[in-house]
Amino acid sequence: MKILVVNVNTTETMTKSIGEAARAAAAPGTEIIPLTPYFGAESCEGNLESYLAAVAVMDRVVTYDGEYDAVIQAGYGEHGREGLQEMLDVPVVDITEAAASTAQFLGHKYSVVTTLDRTVPLIEDRLLLAGLDRRLASVRSSGMAVLELESDPERALEAIVRECELAVTQDKAEVICLGCGGMADLEAKVKERTGVPVVDGVAAAVTIAEGLHRLGLRTSKVRTYAPPRPKQITGWPITTNR
């Protein structure tokens, strides 16, 4: 099967590392196709950037002219998954929900550890909407911006691991979802320091998309995600209407 894995920001190196994470999780025979939006922010750390990403991801997918069997939206806590579900017939998996849903099979409560404090409410809101909030112990932030993960990896690593430890000892999380990708040693380090399973959203999303595809399951089209009604939409898709 073919899975589009769509980054939510415009940073190509991030798209690349997301693609690698996806490939590492994929079953033999699964082809991963990483995509970068044509417009939007170099990193998503707030609502303006996230709404822009929602549209940019839809735009990127609708202008992709190959075939695919599932789409993964690879941004943590971002808007937009509902639009993709409406627009497409194939399964759509958001990594925030994939991670949480997977974590719930592994422990009684889970926490999410992410980058900046300002993105915490976005993640909380997405998990509330997804109905994945009851077993959420906490969303914690390391205080490091998305791009600092690459520029100062050592300090970022320490800050993130510290929050993971607090999630386990104070908030009683039994599983950690990492809401910040792109660091080679992160997962191993967190596991070592906290002793709890660590779920990466991209990897979780790949196995879920594969499972849905294998079982022939597709987005329900009877109500919320029925195809858009035929009507005039000005300037859409964005990139082909400039």
| Amino acid (one-letter) located at 75 | G
Q: Which two tokens stand for residue 204?
A: 């979780």
Amino acid at 217: L
Contact with a second copy (CB under 8 A): which of 15, 102, 114, 138?
102
Is 58 a residue that touches a second copy (CB under 8 A)? Answer: yes
Is 140 among the residues that bind a second copy (CB under 8 A)? no
Q: Decide: is 54 part of the binding site for a second copy (CB under 8 A).
A: yes
| Binding piece for a second copy, criterion CB under 8 A, among 12-20, 157-165, 178-186, 221-229 | 221-229
Which of 2, 23, 47, 155 binds a second copy (CB under 8 A)? It is: 47
Size of the site for a second copy (CB under 8 A): 95
**Which residues 6+ apart lie within 8 Å of 100 measured at CB?**
110, 112, 127, 130, 132, 136, 177
Radius of gyration of the chain measured on its C-alpha atoms: 17
Sign (positive or negative) of CA dihedral 197, 112, 76, 102:
positive
Q: Is residue 91 involved in binding a second copy (CB under 8 A)?
A: yes
Of residues 147-186, those binding a second copy (CB under 8 A): 168, 172, 174-175
Nearer to a second copy, 122 or 156 (CB): 122
Query: Residue 231, exposed/middle/buried by CB under 10 A (0-12, 13-18, 19+)?
Result: exposed
Instruction: Return the number of the residue (158 or 220) whose C-beta is nearest a second copy.
Output: 220
